[in-house]
Chains A and B, each alone.
Chain A
């Protein structure tokens, strides 16, 4: 019973947040900014007659509550309007770009989590050792680096001067099939993925380190040692599993930040994903696309947070009691 109520509460909270995001988006673009005026800031030029037709079509002169209901209905049906620059439906524009971003952000998340956790464990277990000090400093430096800039430096060095990797895009211009194609994509993926991985590795290592240090001060670790459990087993069976929890949830909670970092990294490497689309839409004042991406990013992050809450409740039953 307890767990079902916990789950229900979390799902309701996620839905509430989603409604808040929708309302927020509506207020920003419809009530504060006049969409037609915003349109004139973009590259699209309209004469007064076309503007009037557009006002009619968008229903801008309807009362705000009517507009809001229509807007929510449209959004739920996936109708996000037309792109100002290409004239195609925003939903199509976005759908084309999702998978490259999922590939990039997914692989960078997995890699930075795994390496961050390993570095954090090694540092905390030998606190004060040369490895600990240098990895802590390195983590802090990586944490302080703007990802976009790091990406540019890696691009100049490894793609420009050394020429080991392609400078951009997701695949070579001449079509390849099978394994050759996979290898081609991987070599294009390497640098942007490395940039994002390095950008978030530091934070995870620091969190894992401090979380493990906290666990190491607990009584049950001392009990395990007193029982004569070997050092390696104390670490593997008693300390690390308990320290992993906060780190894992942090990873889920920081998906939003990784998505943010991917925007610039994708722009630097011309990676054909959502980040690149965001970058181009900002440059072209393509508001419907910016709006659509805002909704999608928010929904993705809300979903990840919900997953984190559910996972946390599952892994640590104490949470559900509270």
Chain B
């Protein structure tokens, strides 16, 4: 088994430096990063689950980026629909049409942009808030930690759906608010995880050595704590994207989605409201759900694979 060394191990020189002419510190740093990355990739590639997830994920990201090439945006305007309402799948509309006569395939293609955007942006909010609170609390300890930990525990207990409903209905239904609300309701789990890891990292000898050499708190946190907590944050990030996309779907299904930026969840909600259940418009209902399922599955699979690569303890089992 190939071990992926934590950055500090490399810094301490457990791996022999390549016998080359002296280079600038910058070049050495980059060579080290390249080496770590290729070692990481070699291990990751062995996980079939991780590779399948990565391929699906890449496919959907590609579709989202290439949406203007794949679908005609004017056809998504309710006043200029290309077809008649409720057409079942045909050569012209492979996934049929919705209640305005818009192509469901085009809606799903453009919906991928909204769903993925919310997934990534909400994850960014979660990670910034969660990692920030976790590292500050874990690193400084004492009263700050007690306060932040109590705050984290409170947020962990409040049922996210109730909080999200309350917040969205007060703040209003926009893309920005949805991202904010998902971030606000999911940072606590990350904070707890990061805090636990920070507590163990800060007790390591090299942190003490750096402090003895006169390193400032800022230097210790950014150069020693953060890089070593990073693996935990990274695997958690990928899993959080999956959860955020599911959370956005839930909010959209509750009718709390942004009506101007229709996500996959929004398409399902539109279909539901238009009576697709009793009329049996399966072509309108099934594709967006399958997309959500596939993307969530892809991110979850990548997250588990990353966890295995980054935590050698699990891998040995």
- Chain A residues with CB under 8 Å of chain B are 13, 16-17, 20-21, 24-25, 28-29, 32-33, 38, 140-141, 143-146, 148-150, 152-153, 155-156, 160-161, 167, 213-214, 217, 256-257, 259-261, 263-264, 267-268, 278-279, 282-283, 285, 287, 290-291, 293-294, 297-298, 301-302, 305
Contacts and interface: CB of A to CB of B under 8 A. Distances in A.
Contacts of A17: 153-154, 157
Interface stretch (B30-38, B66-74, B165-173, B218-226): B165-173
Contacts of A13: 153
A161 B280 contact: yes
Interchain residue pairs A-B with the least CB separation, the first 7: A260-B161, A256-B159, A144-B296, A149-B289, A144-B297, A297-B162, A148-B253
Contact of B250 (A148, A152, A156, A287): A148
12 contacts: A33-B170, A146-B292, A146-B293, A148-B253, A149-B253, A167-B277, A260-B250, A278-B254, A294-B163, A294-B166, A297-B159, A302-B157
Nearest to A38: B170
B162 A298 contact: yes
A152 B249 CA distance: 14
A17 B286 CA distance: 41
A169 to B, nearest CB: 14
A259 B160 CA distance: 10
A298 B165 contact: no
A20 to B, nearest CB: 5
Main secondary structure of the interface of A (DSSP, over half): helix
Contacts of A293: 162
Given A38-B170, A268-B277, A282-B165, A298 B268 contact: no
Given A160-B278, A256-B160, A283-B255, A278 B165 contact: yes
Given A33-B170, A149-B253, A263-B161, A213 B317 contact: yes
A144 B289 contact: no
Contact of B292 (A16, A149, A257): A149
B317 A282 contact: no
Contacts of B296: 143-145
B280 A153 contact: no
A261 B253 CA distance: 11
Interface residues of B, number: 43
Q: Which of A260, A267, A268 has the most CB of B within 10 A?
A: A260
Interface string B122-161: 0000000000000000000000000000100110011111
B285 A152 contact: yes
Contacts of A28: 166-167, 170
Given A144-B297, A156-B280, A298 B158 contact: yes
A167 B278 CA distance: 9
B101 interface: no
B253 A259 contact: no
A294 B256 contact: no
B70 to A, nearest CB: 23
B242 interface: yes
Q: Which of B157, B242, B278 has the most CB of A within 10 A?
A: B157
Interface in B271-296: 272, 276-278, 280, 282, 285-286, 288-289, 292-294, 296
Contacts of B288: 149
Given A153-B285, A264-B250, A279-B254, A290 B301 contact: no
A291 B150 CA distance: 23
A144 B300 contact: yes
Contacts of B289: 145-146, 149-150, 152-153
B170 A32 contact: yes
A268 B277 CA distance: 9
A153 B255 CA distance: 19
B246 interface: yes
Contacts of A152: 268, 272, 276-277, 285, 289
Nearest to A32: B170
A290 B169 contact: yes
B59 to A, nearest CB: 16
B265 interface: yes
A129 to B, nearest CB: 16
A150 B289 CA distance: 8
Given A146-B246, A282-B254, A160 B280 contact: yes
B250 A153 contact: no
A286 to B, nearest CB: 9
A315 B68 CA distance: 58
Contact of B170 (A29, A160, A214, A278): A29
B254 A156 contact: no
Given A32-B170, A145-B292, 16 more contacts: A28-B167, A141-B297, A144-B246, A144-B297, A146-B265, A152-B289, A155-B277, A160-B277, A160-B278, A256-B157, A256-B162, A264-B250, A278-B165, A285-B169, A287-B169, A301-B157
A146 B249 contact: yes
Given A146-B289, A149-B292, A282-B256, A156 B277 contact: yes
Nearest to B256: A282
A143 B317 CA distance: 24
A21 B254 contact: no
Contact of B297 (A140, A264, A283): A140
A294 B294 CA distance: 32
Contacts of B280: 156, 160-161
Contacts of A153: 285-286, 289
B285 A156 contact: yes
Contacts of A20: 154
A16 B162 CA distance: 19
A140 B250 contact: no
B166 A301 contact: no
Contacts of B272: 152, 268
Nearest to A279: B254
A121 B153 CA distance: 31
